[in-house]
Structure 1
């Protein structure tokens, strides 16, 4: 079959012989080019980690998103700082201090917004309560005012215990006092201190008559200055956040915990998890690839030649990417993975063909000419098919993959040149005449003979598997949730998922922009009718209703707390202080004991018993201590019980200073987040369920879009981006299939052999898709990148088999024993070793890509070496007949 390809044959044969003859000069030039490429790439190749740039700006959801980001720029690329504290006072105080410190750092932060710490809301917060709740708080304060006033007058442990003792005695006399929350809070505080896990009592919850929760949360929204030229765009800003936290006294082992999440932190965490351990995995993989190549070549020199060709080709491809595009993104960086898989394939096929010719008794120069011609013809066809396949991604709307197509398609051309220019030069020094390894050939050939011996069984198995695949293919799905790709153990991911679990405060919510107030009001009413919507917030909601009635209740509250003045306790002597504390605590215990005996069925008895038990434990601990330790323990308890009192009283005083206000009186830090300078109103639409689930996400987004087609926000972007990616890949693969089919028809000049090349590719693609269902590994934004590689390897492998069959007029029984079959096997094995390591990545997207590649390559190998030889019998049989 040399005649139809005589020009191609001669061109590659002469190129290989020329490079072999002038090996010293070729290798010296290659060395200089490698150094120059490395320097050029290191100095000029950038990295863009902004994922929003990877989809076309003309897609409708991107247009909506960009308009929103332009209108409300402070809402994009943010960090969410989550502060968790045992009491609301501690959370509030820490949030205020941290926000103030971050505002002093314009170098790292563009905007800092702590909504609950804003002075405006601190003063007018009670106006957002309903009237019945204000009346309840007022009644609660009126009842507790005498007790709070006495404690505020002398905030000390003995005063606190004395006031409680007096209150319990009043209860015994029949007075109605609500002491349950106080007794329970004191009991919990004592138990926590004795258990070595101090917990402060919240006076704010006591004022409101609410049970104290285990944790309270404040959130600060921070817009950092990202640096996309760096690998981790927000790393410097996040570091500045933790530095500021340490400056105000927040430590990792302290009671107040700081966690950082938000889209910027998630992006950095995702990149870190995808790179985590790669340096070690890379070394291990390189060693394993070297071992596989040694068994393939049976020569250290030839294995080294493959690795050197691979390295130079990778450097030249990176240099092309630098010159043509200038930067990589998180998608196009996968060109290295693609090149390793396909570049090794080229070198292995050429070198094994050279070895096969040598084993047939030809001298080195003749073997190089013949191997160059035969392998060059097949590899040129593979290169054309692969390049067309990759270039088919250029017209898609997924610009990240379009750039990957440009780089990888050109990389295939570079690989072909490197293989036939550098490969022969290396073989002059790294290859020695080898002895045929019949055992190795025979073992692989005997395994492959099974499908030929039982070809009817192979046909039946293909048919059955196709029926199963047809039944399962509709269940192939795409995972739109970006969180599902990340390391579930990452702090930013865990924190974000916790926030998503509370839909009414979900950081993932839809955004709708309206041009005027009336449109905003009407749209809110329509959206509120949707069962998928839980809560809606607009700028109009920040002006409370019934302000006059609420202010009357607040004025009454102000009269109640007016006499509250916080004083500093008199500093008694150490011994006097300890004695007073012990006496009052003992008196409190006695009063509790008496009350329990006299009122065993009282609703307060359970709280009284719990505090009595806590005091008994405290006395038992104190009895075993010396005076110094007693003093320290009692001082710690005093701090736990009274530390938040000044903060709570101050906040209470501020809250009764509320005055009526309108939209014009709202602070600018709030207004510019809900009303743009162009007059557009922002509507936040929160889901009614956790949209971390894909089905819930789709239901929520589609429901909102029915009423507000121009809605945006992360849920909308995530869903629409996923569908755009799927559409882009369908478009690209359709174009690739058409282009490859046309190229194969031109190269092979035969419809039936073109079909024989395509059938293994289509079969392996279908089987791989089915296994994503069986393994519960849906396609996602990361593993879908594996499809171009599977396309390339599938085309390469089947085209090599068909081309060898045509080129040498070989039947299937002989074909499976050739170097072509062995090259396909070892090339796939090399890629499997390379990509299987990805499955152990903590990044779920990378791990799923490794699993998909492993499964896909396995099916490619089966379809090419087992199914294709059986199918090649069909045209051969027809030819004989």
Structure 2
């Protein structure tokens, strides 16, 4: 088989040189066609859905959701500022401008119109709060009904209090049922009056807001203005007491990926920039999964192009410097460029696009594809300088080095093709594109390259070619080999110790599942996403469940809310108040009580003298009552309750008395009037508001904003449930816990947390399996190539050693694998094994352990450095995924070079010495026997 391969390559070379012009024209035509295809059909996609098998259950669930609701993940505009009102104004401006982008965006959610809920707002209180309100208004209702001419004001309330503090009233136990609710409210009124007289700022009610969640908010003690303020706050998606406001919008139909998505994001960013000029004190930015994906695509595409240009430039420079001439290296680079054109056009014809994974193959193919041209050119120059003709030199090169190139190229291509044996479409596409890219480079190096050498060198003439090759062919001086082989056993011992050390480091290598860590951390969208993750909003990432009806949605929502890893659940049923029928009965009772009560919220005058007298009397009664009650605390429970009441009353009354005695009459009247309006004007307006509540029905879908219905209700009546995680599910541990929990409620749950949970693990598993298949395939190829067990093991020896060192190095420096650099597992195997093959192939040919005394050592070094350059060029990437890939592959290829050019030759050196000793022994023995016989 080895002989047949060598003879086939020699025959192919002969035919190629014989028809060199036809071969060159044929490949030029193919290159022209490729350039035309690239100019008309070139496309790179970053749609995660296109990287996954269509029949994947997880993918099917997600596609069903998108089809049912017609939306994708949202754009999220983040507005941060210290002034909540200014934040809201900016949010309204953003929403207005986003709507003008239709049809590129849809379902803009800036301010939700919750006005229809105001007449049903009491339904969002708990039953206990409603009962408290019902009990509190009894005293006011009773007084206003019994004495319609009396209005709610400071004088009236103080008069009522003095009457209730009569000993005859308090001694009757049944009166305390009415007295306790009255006194709680009365103490609150006194403290408000004291604050007004002291001119303390009004107490600002702070309610933790969350989008569309009004239940269980304590509104029983709030003014009507406060209640309306809370309703207005819930009209915005706001957090941190209004300091963080979000505006969301869904991509329009047909604008969720590709160029339209990129165009949409640019327009949204321009809107944000313009509005940011109007509100310089606010921080406004854009994030969301479509933005993260698109920025990732733009960053990786830009970095891939820059890396490819840098790699090609550096490889060209190294090529010219190493061979100290222009012509033949230039021909090698031209052949490489033509092969790259074929490689890029191939996926446009077969697949239709590159994806965010497969686009990285360009820099890799440059680094590894030039390897074949270097090996071929180096051997060709060696044979020419040794005295052979152009055709003889090409045949010898093709027969021997060509066979090694063929084996090395096939092993590298197979390493890529093994990536096709998995369920991850994105990885399959990468395997196909990169595998054929290597084969195209291999084909061009074994056909087009020798054809161009034969055609051009024949015109130049053999003598001139030989003179130039003698100048460019270089080998290392003898002292280098002396140093290199100073102590083969010592070098192998050091290598063994390094291997043992790195082997102990391998278990420390982890896997980073967090996709945000692959992004450029300086991108605004990444920083905004991290800002949201660290805020009460917990980011906009959520799992999604689709229920068939309201009853199913309500049941599921309650089950999701009970899970320890769930922070919040959003759906239609969580917007509807709970226990509506039971609450309606209490609300009807409240409204009925207030129906015939005369209410007037107009401003009334305060009788300051009478008020001062009532305060003095009440303070005196309270102090006396406190002293009397203290005497009976030990024997009467009611006395203890009286002590508690008086201990709250006395400080408030004392404050009022002190201020009234201190203030001039004019100022006192002004402050008392203001206090009365603040306390009782709003109180009466509150009673009026309570009376205005709709008791005919509960909250229905007709009361909800259009944007909410569009978000949570599909045209077919299905209901969406958003499940918000409690922890950061970009991190694997939190994601696993969250997905495992929610799947107990709904096995068909979908969304980004679920997709990350499934697909990143699938990606990791696929690359691991690809590496195993690559190694098996490479072993088979190497055995077939050398047909010698020892040589096959030695060809694999540098690769195995380099793999252990690379993994150990990663463990020692705490560099984890991630969804981007995990590709190095099969890739390093395919790329790194070639150097071992070249080394063993040359040793098996001439038995010379000193590789650098031949062209092979130089060729392996230069080709290895070009591969290192190809991958090291990725280190300029701001996209951390490409950076980590470039870092790991640079180290892996460097270790492969060290083990192939330094460690493996030590083994050859020892083998050569042993062979010499054996030969000397077999030569000397017959001579000794002859002498003995004589």
Which interval holds the TM-score relative to the shorter structure?
0.7 to 0.9
Aligned match of 1:241 in 247, 261, 268?
268
Where does residue 318 of structure 1 map in the other structure?
A: 344
User: Is structure 2 residue 72 aligned with structure 1 residue 38?
Assistant: no
User: Is structure 2 residue 18 aligned with structure 1 residue 18?
Assistant: yes
Aligned alpha-carbon RMSD (Å):
4.5
* More moved, 208-217 vs 315-324: 208-217
Q: Secondary structure at the match of 1:57?
A: coil
User: CA 1:511–1:274 in 2, change beyond 3 Å: closer, same or farther?
Assistant: same
**Residues 608-628 of structure 1, C-alpha deviations (whole Å, 9 max, x = no match):** xxxxxxxxxxxxxxxxxxxxx
Q: Secondary structure at the match of 2:841?
A: helix
Where does residue 328 of structure 1 map in the other structure?
A: 354
Where does residue 91 of structure 1 map in the other structure?
A: 87
User: CA 1:459–1:281 in 2, change beyond 3 Å: closer, same or farther?
Assistant: closer
Where does residue 742 of structure 1 map in the other structure?
A: 780
* More moved, 652-661 vs 174-183: 652-661
How much has 1:7 moved relative to structure 2?
Answer: 1.8
User: CA 1:437–1:689 in 2, change beyond 3 Å: closer, same or farther?
Assistant: same
Q: Secondary structure at the match of 2:388?
A: coil
User: CA 1:56–1:282 in 2, change beyond 3 Å: closer, same or farther?
Assistant: closer
Q: Take 1:92 and 1:554, find their aligned partners in 2: how far apart are those partners?
A: 34
Q: Take 2:655 and 2:12, find their aligned partners in 1: how far apart are those partners?
A: 99
Q: Residues 84 and 91 of structure 1 are in contact (CA less than 8 Å); yes or no, is this contact kept in structure 2?
A: yes
Where does residue 859 of structure 2 map in the other structure?
A: 823
Q: Residues 303 and 874 of structure 2 are in contact (CA less than 8 Å); yes or no, is this contact kept in structure 1?
A: no
How much has 1:18 moved relative to structure 2?
Answer: 3.1
Q: Secondary structure at the match of 1:106?
A: coil
Where does residue 729 of structure 1 map in the other structure?
A: 767
**Residues 235-290 of structure 1, C-alpha deviations (whole Å, 9 max, x = no match):** 2212333455678x553753454322111111111122224466665554433222
Q: Residues 393 and 402 of structure 1 are in contact (CA less than 8 Å); yes or no, is this contact kept in structure 2?
A: yes
Q: Secondary structure at the match of 1:396?
A: coil
Q: Residues 521 and 527 of structure 2 are in contact (CA less than 8 Å); yes or no, is this contact kept in structure 1?
A: yes
Q: Residues 535 and 686 of structure 1 are in contact (CA less than 8 Å); yes or no, is this contact kept in structure 2?
A: yes
User: Is structure 2 residue 433 aligned with structure 1 residue 393?
Assistant: no
Q: Take 2:131 and 2:576, find their aligned partners in 1: how far apart are those partners?
A: 20
**Residues 698-746 of structure 1, C-alpha deviations (whole Å, 9 max, x = no match):** 3333343455443322122112111000111122222222222222222
Q: Secondary structure at the match of 2:728?
A: coil
Q: Take 1:557 and 1:303, find their aligned partners in 2: how far apart are those partners?
A: 97
User: Is structure 2 residue 877 aligned with structure 1 residue 841?
Assistant: yes
Q: Take 1:178 and 1:830, find their aligned partners in 2: how far apart are those partners?
A: 76
Q: Residues 712 and 721 of structure 2 are in contact (CA less than 8 Å); yes or no, is this contact kept in structure 1?
A: yes
Q: Secondary structure at the match of 2:420?
A: coil
Aligned match of 2:53 in 35, 52, 56?
56
Q: Residues 288 and 525 of structure 2 are in contact (CA less than 8 Å); yes or no, is this contact kept in structure 1?
A: yes
User: CA 1:654–1:371 in 2, change beyond 3 Å: closer, same or farther?
Assistant: farther
User: How do residues 630-649 of structure 1 correspond to structure 2 at under 5 angstroms?
Assistant: none
User: CA 1:271–1:48 in 2, change beyond 3 Å: closer, same or farther?
Assistant: closer
Q: Take 1:114 and 1:858, find their aligned partners in 2: how far apart are those partners?
A: 54
User: CA 1:287–1:552 in 2, change beyond 3 Å: closer, same or farther?
Assistant: farther
**Residues 831-874 of structure 1, C-alpha deviations (whole Å, 9 max, x = no match):** 22232232132111111112112111111111221222234457
How much has 1:183 moved relative to structure 2?
Answer: 15
How much has 1:204 moved relative to structure 2?
Answer: 7.3
User: Is structure 2 residue 373 aligned with structure 1 residue 350?
Assistant: no
Q: Residues 414 and 830 of structure 2 are in contact (CA less than 8 Å); yes or no, is this contact kept in structure 1?
A: no
Q: Secondary structure at the match of 1:175?
A: helix
Q: Take 1:413 and 1:799, find their aligned partners in 2: how far apart are those partners?
A: 17
Aligned match of 1:219 in 244, 247, 262?
247
Aligned match of 1:811 in 840, 845, 848?
848
How much has 1:43 moved relative to structure 2?
Answer: 0.9
How much has 1:783 moved relative to structure 2?
Answer: 2.1
Q: Take 2:590 and 2:492, find their aligned partners in 1: how far apart are those partners?
A: 85
Q: Take 1:727 and 1:528, find their aligned partners in 2: how far apart are those partners?
A: 33
**Residues 357-408 of structure 1, C-alpha deviations (whole Å, 9 max, x = no match):** 1222333333223223222211122233233222222221111121122222
Q: Take 2:590 and 2:728, find their aligned partners in 1: how far apart are those partners?
A: 37
Q: Take 2:751 and 2:805, find their aligned partners in 1: how far apart are those partners?
A: 36
Where does residue 512 of structure 1 map in the other structure?
A: 545
How much has 1:483 moved relative to structure 2?
Answer: 1.0
Q: Residues 51 and 330 of structure 1 are in contact (CA less than 8 Å); yes or no, is this contact kept in structure 2?
A: no
User: CA 1:563–1:83 in 2, change beyond 3 Å: closer, same or farther?
Assistant: farther
Larger radius of gyration: 2
User: CA 1:557–1:782 in 2, change beyond 3 Å: closer, same or farther?
Assistant: farther
Aligned match of 2:698 in 642, 661, 676?
661
Q: Take 1:228 and 1:520, find their aligned partners in 2: how far apart are those partners?
A: 27
How much has 1:464 moved relative to structure 2?
Answer: 2.9
Q: Secondary structure at the match of 1:112?
A: strand
How much has 1:293 moved relative to structure 2?
Answer: 0.8
Q: Take 2:133 and 2:84, find their aligned partners in 1: how far apart are those partners?
A: 17
Aligned match of 1:484 in 495, 511, 517?
517
How much has 1:212 moved relative to structure 2?
Answer: 9.8
Q: Take 1:174 and 1:848, find their aligned partners in 2: how far apart are those partners?
A: 64
**TM-score calculated relative to the size of structure 1:** 0.75
Aligned match of 1:766 in 804, 824, 827?
804
Q: Take 2:813 and 2:133, find their aligned partners in 1: how far apart are those partners?
A: 56
Where does residue 589 of structure 1 map in the other structure?
A: none
Q: Take 1:226 and 1:239, find their aligned partners in 2: how far apart are those partners?
A: 17
Q: Take 1:86 and 1:218, find their aligned partners in 2: how far apart are those partners?
A: 14
User: Is structure 2 residue 107 aligned with structure 1 residue 111?
Assistant: yes
Q: Take 2:691 and 2:32, find their aligned partners in 1: how far apart are those partners?
A: 69
User: How do residues 352-751 of structure 1 correspond to structure 2 at under 5 angstroms?
Assistant: 352-427=378-453, 429=456, 432=465, 433-434=467-468, 436=470, 441-442=475-476, 452-502=485-535, 505-515=538-548, 520-545=553-578, 547-548=583-584, 661-667=698-704, 669-677=707-715, 680-706=718-744, 708-751=746-789
Q: Residues 303 and 879 of structure 2 are in contact (CA less than 8 Å); yes or no, is this contact kept in structure 1?
A: no
User: Is structure 2 residue 77 aligned with structure 1 residue 67?
Assistant: no
How much has 1:505 moved relative to structure 2?
Answer: 4.2
Q: Residues 451 and 867 of structure 1 are in contact (CA less than 8 Å); yes or no, is this contact kept in structure 2?
A: no
How much has 1:339 moved relative to structure 2?
Answer: 1.5
How much has 1:448 moved relative to structure 2?
Answer: 6.8
Q: Residues 497 and 692 of structure 1 are in contact (CA less than 8 Å); yes or no, is this contact kept in structure 2?
A: no
User: CA 1:742–1:255 in 2, change beyond 3 Å: closer, same or farther?
Assistant: same
How much has 1:487 moved relative to structure 2?
Answer: 0.9
Q: Take 2:897 and 2:128, find their aligned partners in 1: how far apart are those partners?
A: 73
How much has 1:126 moved relative to structure 2?
Answer: 7.0
User: CA 1:771–1:530 in 2, change beyond 3 Å: closer, same or farther?
Assistant: farther
Q: Take 1:94 and 1:562, find their aligned partners in 2: how far apart are those partners?
A: 38
User: CA 1:691–1:376 in 2, change beyond 3 Å: closer, same or farther?
Assistant: same
How much has 1:790 moved relative to structure 2?
Answer: 2.0
**Residues 148-192 of structure 1, C-alpha deviations (whole Å, 9 max, x = no match):** xxxxxxxxxxxxxxxxxxxxxx978983765156899xxxxxxxx
Q: Take 1:135 and 1:104, find their aligned partners in 2: how far apart are those partners?
A: 48
